[in-house]
A and B are shown apart, each in its own frame.
Chain A
Amino acid sequence: MLDKIRVENLSCFYADPKEKGGKKRVLESLNINVVENEILTIIGPANSGKTTFLRTLNRMNDFDPNYSRKGAIYLGNDNIFNMNMEKLRKRVGMLFAMPIPLPMTIYENIIYAPKRLGVVNKKSEQNEVVEQALRDASLWNEVKDRLNSSAMKLSGGQQQRLCIARILAINPEVILFDEPCSGLDPISTAKVEESMMELRAKYTIVLVTNNVKQASRVGSRTAFFLMGKLVEVDKTGTIFVSPKNKQTEDYITGRFG
């Protein structure tokens, strides 16, 4: 199996507000890989650095002046820190914790990025892209009759799937999910998980979640982060049945976190 992403010695810091020039380390010498077409789930208690890690994977933190980092991340053979940011994000899409539809129609939401990136131009192509993306995110049947109504009017679960469709429309290689179901009810969560499982065939997925059960349901492999360190990573089945580390076991069984 091929490594899609290889992380080498990644450390991330935030400026410490308490002392001038001081830095707080939020990720420490991280080495991990993501295999092509797997779902790597990352679990861990609050402040374990998992969201920082995820946002580093497509450099969403780069505009934050308090943030700094060391190390390298390879996407295929390219170090992402040497890549053009826009190109990187076209290859590595991201879904946020809260659904963020842009204040436009459903149709415009999907076609927004392909248009701006110059991927599609013709109107007929546009229709095709929108339909395909919505179908892949299993939203097509629910919205096909109201593509021109505002995306803000959709329900939370629908909005989150719209955001997935929006990412699919630019056809990335990797999709990052940042606790995508934290604001959703169980039924919507099930639907989002379902589409994640389907997406696995075409994309490589990294999922950060607070929900240990979700990790056990969808993860091919699971990594456990604690206090900015990778404690353990293994096949999801192995981690949940016989974790090597005591801390992992404690977290999974709900003794802390």
Chain B
Amino acid sequence: MFNKRFLSPKVSQKISYAILFCATILAIIPVSIIVFIIIKNGASAITWEFLTSMPKDGMRGGGIFPAIIGTLSIVLCAITITLPIGVCAAIYLNEYAKDNLLTRVIKLAIVNLAGVPSVVYGLFGLGIFVMFLQLGVSIVAGALTLSIMELPVIITTARGALSSVPHSFREASLSLGVSRWQTIRHVVLPNALPGILTGAILSIARVSGETAPIMFTAAAFYVPHLPKSAFDQVMALPYHLYIISTQIPNMPRNIIFGTALVLLMMVLSMSLIAIIARIYFRKRRKW
């Protein structure tokens, strides 16, 4: 990289490290600025009323309560569907699957599910859940769409958690005549649980911010009441932010920023909790 005749290896190392350091700064500063801008402009909008009341005046006033409730109901519904399926799939891959063609195809499918663009999930959800299964634009349709979207993430993290349980524990249990499933149920799963749960929280956080998949499957422009059943349309925070920041003229700036701040804090605080929990459980691990 640097001509040796002019620079000693020591000096070139110093310069290179400085460049790497600057790159890292360049990667993290802009995002910090984004967060800072939102906090600075949005903090003034956050009041108890803003969080707990209905929108007013064509959404130019009032609060964002229905959007918060809508988002929570969609994502919680989604994780309830995904978590058991994802954990079972991870158990299959980690504990039962042999190294054969089927396993390779499953792994390839997971890699692909993880890479499908979020808007394509939206299309798919619209096609199969809203139209084909006639669930309509509803919490269920959105939750099902999101649950398929987060499935690869749950499988991957759950698999990591399962494989971090030492192989010897399984051998010890099997050698005592305990069956394979009982071994998984009573030795492997309890020890993988913290890892699985932190993965689940992280995935709830990610999915809370998704807009495109719920745009055509669950989210509504404006619903003047809270959802009464899982087959209702709902407002959702990310979609609401999109609407008020692009579709509604003369929108008060602080309401937009306030909405963005609530969404950001929801996502970041959940992620942070998961990250801290993960560090805590790793330190406390008994083996």
Contact = CB atoms under 8 A, between A and B. Distances in A.
B157 to A, nearest CB: 21
B178 A102 contact: no
Interface in B243-287: 286-287
Contact of A86 (B169, B179, B286): B179
B286 A113 contact: no
B287 A103 contact: yes
Contacts of B98: 65
Contact of B169 (A65, A87, A100, A117): A100
B286 A152 contact: yes
Contacts of A167: 176
Interface in B115-158: none
Contacts of A163: 172
Interface in A62-105: 63, 65, 86-90, 93-94, 96, 98, 100, 102-103
Contacts of B287: 103, 152
A96 B99 contact: no
Interface size, B (range): 10 to 19
A53 to B, nearest CB: 16
B186 A112 contact: yes
B175 A94 contact: yes
Given A112-B186, A170-B177, A100 B286 contact: no
Contacts of B186: 112, 116
A221 interface: no
B169 A103 contact: yes
A86 B177 contact: yes
A102 B171 contact: no
Given A65-B98, A65-B99, A116-B186, A100 B171 contact: yes
A117 B286 CA distance: 26
Interface of B: 98-99, 168-169, 171-179, 182, 186-187, 191, 286-287
Given A90-B177, A112-B186, A113-B178, 4 more contacts: A89-B177, A96-B168, A113-B173, A152-B287
Interface of A: 58, 60, 63, 65, 86-90, 93-94, 96, 98, 100, 102-103, 112-113, 116-117, 150, 152, 163, 166-167, 170
